[in-house]
Structure 1
Amino acid sequence: MKKIALAAALSVAATTAFAGGMAEPVMEPAVVEAGTSSSGGILLPLLLLVVVAAAVASN
């Protein structure tokens, strides 16, 4: 009787350990950073130079 009870307890413990099965791995999406343009640093001084040149030429 003890052997039957021990076998039943072990079989119940073994089935709960494998109840979930293998899960598919979840991959995180890759993080993509937006590139910044460096032309904004030179564009503003050039635009300012054109405005100043136009103001000087109009006088």
Structure 2
Amino acid sequence: MKKIALAAALSLAASTAFAGGMAEPVTPPVVVKQKTTTSSGGIVIPLLLLVAVAAAVSSN
């Protein structure tokens, strides 16, 4: 009888110890920084060329 009680106590203790199982490791999300450009960046050079041509034409 004592062996049955001891086996029952040990099985209850073992089942509660392994009830949760292994938890997956939690890793923080990877942050990806993307370089962005504004649309006005590509228009500056043509505007400067237009101003230079206008200045050259008006000086004659």
TM-score tier, shorter chain, comes to 0.3 to 0.5
**TM-score normalized by structure 2?**
0.45
**TM-score normalized by structure 1?**
0.46
